[in-house]
Amino acid sequence: MNPALLDLRNVSVLRGGGLAVENLDLSISSGEIVALLGLNGAGKTSLLRAVMGLEPLAAGAVRFRDRNLGHLATPDRARLGIGYCPEGRRLFPGMSVSDALHAASRGSARERDERIDEIMRLFPLLEDILGQDCWRLSGGQQQVVAIARALMPRPEILLLDEPSLGLAPVICQDLFPAIRRLANLGAGVLLAEQSLVHALAVADRVAVLHRGRLLLDARAREVSHEHLKHLLLSEGEPG
């Protein structure tokens, strides 16, 4: 196992006047996909937002490459090498796909073009839609663009929030293998998901959140689909 790239220790997250996540320990290494599983309201989004500095911590520490991020602002965390693709895609509708990708990188025009070429090898469908306006794209195409945008600055770790939400199964069949290829190239991935099928197809480890508490952190190959389903629907007892 590689040393932890992202390390969360005793993390509690405040949201809406209460604790959305409580006393959580979790780590992600380079080249590893950790699937963060949980139903709506489990705390998945709150945790990802806290890693990016978008939600306050009530306790604990978020460390990236053994650096305590503390009060570091969101743009500074991104510059350190943390990428974030939020739920809902949140693309600028008036931009073309090419413009959206170029706007996500501070490199020279040549460096941005080279990076787009690299990302197109992960997501070949980008080549056919680079000139299209984002608002004209299907939901699946928009999700790919949102992930590609997050990858433009070459993050060392990518936080993905519900990438399968609202997508047709045929789109997911292409999307999740691309996420696996990204990890195989060395990136760490924290993948918040409700779909057990898609998560288990690509994850190295699974972490189950229930009402803000971590019930399980285990190797994906060592946990059955039925056991995970039981935990997700439980009342908070690991059993």
d(CA 144, CA 218): 28
d(CA 78, CA 205): 24
166 found inside a domain = yes
216 found inside a domain = yes
Residue 181: per-residue pLDDT: 93
Mean pLDDT computed over 96-108: 90
d(CA 230, CA 208): 11
| Three-class SS state of 78 | helix
Q: Which strand ranges, in their side-by-side order, compose the sheet holding 57-64? A: 18-29, 4-15, 57-64, 67-68
Residue 75: per-residue pLDDT: 95
Mention every residue, 6+ apart, whose C-beta is less than 8 A from residue 206: 34, 35, 37, 199, 200, 216, 217, 218, 219, 220, 223, 228
Full residue range of the structural domain in which residue 61 is found: 4-81+155-232
Residue 232: per-residue pLDDT: 85
209 found inside a domain = yes
- pLDDT tens per residue across span 142-183: 888 899 999 999 999 999 999 988 888 888 888 899 999 999
131 found inside a domain = no
Mean pLDDT computed over 73-97: 88
53's tokens: 């500095």
Evaluate if residue 201 carries a pLDDT over 50: yes
CATH number for the domain that contains residue 167: 3.40.50.300
Residue predicted with more confidence, 68 or 125? 68
- pLDDT tens per residue across span 18-62: 899 999 999 999 999 999 999 988 999 999 999 999 999 999 999
Residue 160: per-residue pLDDT: 96
Residue listed under structure tokens 């501070």? 106
Domain count, the chain: 1
Residue 238: per-residue pLDDT: 43
**Are the CB atoms for 190 and 36 separated by under 8 Å?**
yes
- Pick the closest to residue 236 from 220, 214, 218, 207 (CA basis): 214
117 found inside a domain = no
Evaluate if residue 87 carries a pLDDT over 90: no
Evaluate if residue 236 carries a pLDDT over 60: no
Q: For residue 165, how far is the Cα from the chain centroid? A: 13
Evaluate if residue 230 carries a pLDDT over 90: no
* Entry pTM: 0.92
193 found inside a domain = yes
Residue 89: per-residue pLDDT: 63
47 found inside a domain = yes
12 found inside a domain = yes
